[in-house]
Amino acid sequence: MSVLTLLVRRGGNGLALLLAVLVLNFTLIHNAPGDVADTIAGDMGGADAEVMAQIRRDYGLDRPFHEQLLAYVGKLARGDLGYSFFFNQPVTELLLERLPATLLLVLSAQVLAIMLGTVLGVIAARHPNGLLSHGVTIFALLGFSAPVFWTGIMLIILFCSIFPVFPVAGMIDVTVEGGWFVKTLDVLYHLFLPMVTLASIFLALYSRLARASMLDVLGTDYVRTAQAKGLSEFQVVYKHALRNALGPVVTLAGLQFSGIVSGAVLVETVFSWPGLGTLAFQSITARDAPMVLGILFFSSLVVIVANLVTDLVYSLIDPRIRIGHRG
């Protein structure tokens, strides 16, 4: 099977999955207690039945469910994600406005988790029965088992209250003056604790996987041959073994993208990071159905595309993946 054929097949599956997720999300939100009319009436301090009915007619909530669903899918096919009544802006504009902050947090946490997790896994694999290896294992288990919001709160207490080193919340300090370099440092200063918090759960996965993969590679014949040739331990481990041990880590990085996106919602809420996670929390609280649907659709699209890209890259690396799809 060619790469193009594989792309078309997986792309079709991805579109079908995206449509199924869209219908499921719309159904769940449609059947959830409360709607736009209840929220608007609450902000007004109350409203009679006639006003409530008029609000529902204005937002098309008086129409049958299947008509509302078809209308939403039709607008979505034209690139219209709707209008947020709470933020009084088009959903697409809000998503594009908040997207850079989320991408910065997610990508930086992913890079930190992969790099540090791989290093810890290699260290643990070099001396699998040593104290350092056991320490890495315990550290990984703690990081994986601790809820991400609890980790964030503990970091805030430790580094913002007991030792006031980092800011509590936000992405920038409006009082900071200077050029782009000073403002970039300010953003990185605010980014550190959210990044560490989000990376903590995935750091455990990467370190354990890197350790297991490295142990397998270190037991292969070509590594023993390299050792017999008198190569230094550094050359054997980092030039020969590590390159072949990184395959499973890279694969997991792509497959875990959905987890890191969902984890960002909690982290952004804890640290008031102005990204899609905070936007989702505010929209859910306000019962802003168009905004919630837009965030869910966009998140699903990102995850499906990330998994598709990972699958294609892996099929290019290992031709057996393509051969396995013959017939």
CA distance linking residue 32 with residue 224, whole number of Å: 61
Helix axis angle, 65-77 to 3-31, nearest 10°? 140
The per-residue pLDDT for range 196-233, each reduced to its tens digit, is 998 887 887 888 888 888 888 777 777 777 777 777 76
**Mean pLDDT, rounded, of the chain:** 80
For the ranges 18-22, 123-127, 156-160, 162-166, the lowest mean pLDDT is seen at 123-127
Q: Note the pLDDT of residue 262.
A: 72
Evaluate if residue 243 carries a pLDDT over 90: no
Q: Note the pLDDT of residue 327.
A: 41
Q: Note the pLDDT of residue 60.
A: 76
Evaluate if residue 310 carries a pLDDT over 80: no
Q: Note the pLDDT of residue 326.
A: 45
The per-residue pLDDT for range 73-118, each reduced to its tens digit, is 888 888 888 888 888 889 999 999 998 998 899 889 988 988 888 8
Evaluate if residue 257 carries a pLDDT over 80: no
Instruction: Catalogue all structural domains in the chain, each as residue range(s) with its CATH number.
Output: 3-91 (no CATH), 92-321 (1.10.3720.10)
- C-alpha angle 5-8-11 in degrees, rounded to nearest 5: 145
Q: Note the pLDDT of residue 195.
A: 92
The per-residue pLDDT for range 51-76, each reduced to its tens digit, is 778 877 877 777 888 888 888 888 88
CA distance linking residue 157 with residue 162, whole number of Å: 6
Q: Note the pLDDT of residue 319.
A: 54
The per-residue pLDDT for range 259-309, each reduced to its tens digit, is 677 778 889 989 989 988 888 888 888 888 889 899 888 888 887 887 777
Q: Which two three-digit tokens encode residue 129?
A: 């029965």
Q: By C-alpha distance, which of 194, 116, 103 is closest to 153?
A: 194
Q: Note the pLDDT of residue 1.
A: 53
Q: By C-alpha distance, which of 144, 249, 252 is closest to 203?
A: 144
Q: Note the pLDDT of residue 323.
A: 46
Helix axis angle, 257-271 to 289-317, nearest 10°? 140
Whole-angstrom distance between the N-terminal and C-terminal Cα of the chain?
9
Cross-strand pairs, 89 = 84
For the ranges 1-5, 45-49, 124-128, 308-312, the lowest mean pLDDT is seen at 1-5
Cα 265 to the center of its chain, rounded Å: 8
DSSP states of 100-151 as a string?
HHHHHHHHHHHHHHHHHHHHHHHHHHHSTTSHHHHHHHHHHHHHHHS-HHHH
Mean pLDDT of 233-240: 69
For the ranges 12-16, 247-251, 254-258, 321-325, the lowest mean pLDDT is seen at 321-325
Q: Note the pLDDT of residue 157.
A: 93
Q: Note the pLDDT of residue 3.
A: 63
Cross-strand pairs, 84 = 89
Cross-strand pairs, 16 = none
Q: Note the pLDDT of residue 258.
A: 63
Cα 21 to the center of its chain, rounded Å: 17
Q: Note the pLDDT of residue 188.
A: 92
